[in-house]
Structures are given as C-alpha cells and as structure tokens.
C-alpha cells in the first residue's frame, strides 16, 4: 500500500520550557509516515537551539526560521512547505497522544476533502480538564452543520485536534490564516475549511493536550484592542456564512452566542492587571463594548442559562462599567474559588 504522509506543522515562539515535550510526542507517533515542519517565529530564548539539538538525527523534522510575525504567519509559512496529503497543527507548548495521527488517519485515509476532529485535554496549574466537542455524538460521522456550529461558538474553534486534507487548502482557492487577525484566527480559518469540506469525522477521545500555563500565551496576557479584534472576527465569520450560502436564522443565533462569549473574554481581559492607574481607562473600554449594537441584540435574543449569567447580563444591560467590573471581580475572586473548594471537598469525600 502506498504510504500516506501527514504533515505536522509546529509554530514556535519562546517555548523553551515546552518544545522538547512537544517534539517527543510527535516523534513517537505510531503513524510513522510523517514530516514535521517547524517554523521558529523569531524566538529570543533557547527554543531554536533546543530544536536543532533534538532533530539532528531525525530526517522527518525540518526546521525553518523567520522574523517574528505571529502564529498566523508561521502557520502559513508551514503550509507553503508541506509535502503530505494531510495536515495537523500542533502548538509548541502543547503535545499529542502517541496514537493521535494513527487514530485520525484510520478515518481519513480513504477520503478527500475531509476533516477529522477529536477531543482534547486542557492543562491548568491545578488540574486537567477534558474538553468534549460533541456530547451527543458517539458515531464517527458528523454532519457539516454540526461542525460549523461547533466552530462558530468556539467549542471546536481551536487550531488543535484537527486533521485536514491538503486538497481543502489547495483547492479552488488557497485558504490561509488571516495575518491581520491577532486572536481567534483559528475560528475564521477552520470555518472556511469546514465550508469547503465534504466529509467530517469525530473521535470521542482526547488525543491533544492543550497546555494553558504558558505565560506567553495570548489567552493570559492583557490584549490591547481585544474587543475590536473580536468584532473583526465576528464580521469575518458572518462573511463566510454569506459567501457559502450558509446564512440562516440559526447561524445568526450562533453568532450572537459567540459575541456573548467574546464579551465575557473581553471583560475579563480588562480586569487583567487592573489597578488604580488604569481603572478609568478600563471602565471606558468596557462601556464602549456595552454600547455596541451586537451586544444589544444579544441581550434581546439570548436567554441566560444560569443565575450568574442572568446577573451579568442584567449588569451589561445597564451599560455601567463600574457595576460590571464589581460583579465580575466578585465572581472571579470569591464565588469561583469557593466553588473550586467545594468541588475538591466532594472529590475527597468520594
């Protein structure tokens, strides 16, 4: 049987604490027909030195360097260099199960225009959570609408844990990461892929380990213009729906759910590093978000699922930044820690 090569793209930026673990997990794959394309995105630590030391005796690994341009640029550079029939992205601070590629290729190898998704683990300083993409899907075949919905609301929007055919990227048009988007670029890329794909498969196993502890991660550091970037992503997603004839009442509802989650993220972003010197600016930033038309539509059409959401959506409806900040600080500083203690106590009792 002709070998099927899977191209694994690893963008790297200042990941010296994690990169060897990542590369070891790739090198130990049970699916042997792989090429590994490592793009060092201008690292200033020892990442590149460690990479060269690790790969020197393994011809499957190919190392390239570029000035720092961001993860989207690094991934695009990697895609330009692939020789395989399938692609999977692995971030430098993450790692994959030894059988990840083989599990995915068992489903993908007889199909074109295919996307294979799997669950993943999220690693936090004090715990490891399993992230299940499709709670009600035990069969291997997914419907296109289910995948598009999961990507839109962010449940399956991450770059990790997806194997895709190269012919999806190099089909009628070249699909790339939008380098103007500095966060949530995964969603735009994979929604475009899903719009073109014909076959979707799901593995209800956690084959990807997503490490959330890297202090250089965009999800940890304060992000300037976070809300503007999220609105840009929102508009891009809406354009994809319109371009591919996917726009429906349901898709509009999904986009409103997404803007709700984006708002939570942006509010928490404003709380990052909050102090007396930046308090006034952060309040103005939050009140600017609350005045946005999409937020008004979200409040009118999205029903809260919990008491916490009801309280927060009421506060958002008042458009008063100080109130939103106070309630969110209470949630983060008091309620969430108490819930964590209760969960740990329950585990001890069991």
Total domains, the chain = 2
> What's residue 349's pLDDT?
46
- Whole-number Cα distances in Å, 151 to 148, 158, 195, 326: 5, 8, 11, 31
For residue 141, being part of any structural domain is answered with yes
Could you tell me the two tokens for 342?
């209760």
- Give the residue numbers spanning the domain of 181: 6-211
Bridge partners (DSSP) listed for residue 211: 123
Last-in-domain residue among 211, 237, 260: 211
Residue 44, CB-side half-sphere exposure with 13 Å CA sphere: 2
> What's residue 347's pLDDT?
46
Q: How far apart are CA 130 and CA 143, in angstroms?
A: 23
DSSP string, 70-136: -HHHHHHHHHHT--SSEEEE--TT-EE-TTHHHHHHHHHTT-SSEEEEEEEEEEETTEEEEE-S-TT
State whether 83 and 193 are in the same domain.
yes
For residue 201, being part of any structural domain is answered with yes
pTM assigned to the model: 0.88
Q: What CATH number is attached to the domain comprising 25?
A: 3.90.550.10
For residue 89, being part of any structural domain is answered with yes
For residue 217, being part of any structural domain is answered with no
Closest CA to 288 of 201, 228, 199: 228
Last-in-domain residue among 186, 211, 236: 211
State whether 75 and 110 are in the same domain.
yes
Residue 297, CB-side half-sphere exposure with 13 Å CA sphere: 11
State whether 176 and 232 are in the same domain.
no
State whether 198 and 88 are in the same domain.
yes
For residue 340, being part of any structural domain is answered with yes
Please, are residues 9 and 79 in contact by the beta-carbon 8 Å criterion? yes
What is the residue-level pLDDT of the chain in tens, covering all 350 positions? 457 899 999 999 999 999 999 999 999 999 999 999 999 999 999 999 999 999 998 999 999 999 999 999 999 999 999 999 999 999 999 999 999 999 999 999 999 899 999 999 999 988 899 999 998 776 789 999 999 999 999 989 888 889 999 999 987 678 999 999 988 999 999 999 999 999 999 999 999 999 988 765 555 678 889 999 999 999 999 999 999 998 888 999 999 999 999 998 999 999 988 899 999 999 999 999 999 888 888 888 888 888 888 888 898 888 898 898 888 888 766 545 444 544 444 444 44
Could you tell me the two tokens for 315?
């506060």
Closest CA to 186 of 36, 69, 70, 72: 72
Sign of CA dihedral 262, 266, 267, 269: positive
Please, are residues 85 and 5 in contact by the beta-carbon 8 Å criterion? yes
Please, are residues 269 and 222 in contact by the beta-carbon 8 Å criterion? yes
Give, in degrees to the nearest 5, the angle at Cα 28 between 142 and 90: 50
> What's residue 350's pLDDT?
42
For residue 258, being part of any structural domain is answered with yes
For residue 255, being part of any structural domain is answered with yes
State whether 59 and 136 are in the same domain.
yes
State whether 185 and 53 are in the same domain.
yes
State whether 160 and 14 are in the same domain.
yes
What kind and span of H or E run contains 24? helix 19-27
For residue 1, being part of any structural domain is answered with no
Beta-carbon contacts of 231 under 8 Å, excluding residues fewer than 6 positions away, are 292, 294
State whether 171 and 137 are in the same domain.
yes
> What's residue 18's pLDDT?
96
> What's residue 220's pLDDT?
62
Beta-carbon contacts of 142 under 8 Å, excluding residues fewer than 6 positions away, are 117, 134, 200, 201, 202
State whether 262 and 165 are in the same domain.
no
State whether 111 and 238 are in the same domain.
no
State whether 176 and 243 are in the same domain.
no
Last-in-domain residue among 154, 181, 211: 211
Closest CA to 260 of 308, 306, 313: 313
State whether 265 and 185 are in the same domain.
no
């Amino acid at each position: 049987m002709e070998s099927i090569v899977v191209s694994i793209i690893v963008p790297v930026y200042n990941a010296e604490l994690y990169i060897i673990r990542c590369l070891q997990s790739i090198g130990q794959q049970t699916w042997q027909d792989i090429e590994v394309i490592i793009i060092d995105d201008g690292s200033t630590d020892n990442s590149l030195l460690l990479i060269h030391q690790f790969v020197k005796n393994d011809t499957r690994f190919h190392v390239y360097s570029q000035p720092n341009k961001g993860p989207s640029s690094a991934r695009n550079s990697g895609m330009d260099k692939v020789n395989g029939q399938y692609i999977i992205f692995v971030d430098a601070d993450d790692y994959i199960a030894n059988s990840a590629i083989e599990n995915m290729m068992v489903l993908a190898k007889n199909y074109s225009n295919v996307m294979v998704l799997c669950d993943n683990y999220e690693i936090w300083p004090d715990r490891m959570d399993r992230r299940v993409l499709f709670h009600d899907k035990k069969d291997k075949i997914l419907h296109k609408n289910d995948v598009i919905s999961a990507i839109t609301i962010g449940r399956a929007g991450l770059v990790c844990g997806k194997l895709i055919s190269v012919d999806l990227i190099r089909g009628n048009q070249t699909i790339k990461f939008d380098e103007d988007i500095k966060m949530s670029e995964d969603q735009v890329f994979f929604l475009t892929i899903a719009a073109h794909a014909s076959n979707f498969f799901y593995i209800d196993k956690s084959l990807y380990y997503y490490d959330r502890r890297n202090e250089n991660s965009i999800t940890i550091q304060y992000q300037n213009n976070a809300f503007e970037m999220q609105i840009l992503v929102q508009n891009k997603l809406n354009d994809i729906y319109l371009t591919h004839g996917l726009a429906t009442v349901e898709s509009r509802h999904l986009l409103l759910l997404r803007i709700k989650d984006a708002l939570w993220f942006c509010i928490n972003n404003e709380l990052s590093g909050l102090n007396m010197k930046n308090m006034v600016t952060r309040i103005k930033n939050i009140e600017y978000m609350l005045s946005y038309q999409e937020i008004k539509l979200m409040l009118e059409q999205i029903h809260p699922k919990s008491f916490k959401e009801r309280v927060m959506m009421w506060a958002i409806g008042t458009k008063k930044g100080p109130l939103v900040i106070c309630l969110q600080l209470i949630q983060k500083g008091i309620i969430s820690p108490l819930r964590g203690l209760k969960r740990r106590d329950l585990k001890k009792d069991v």
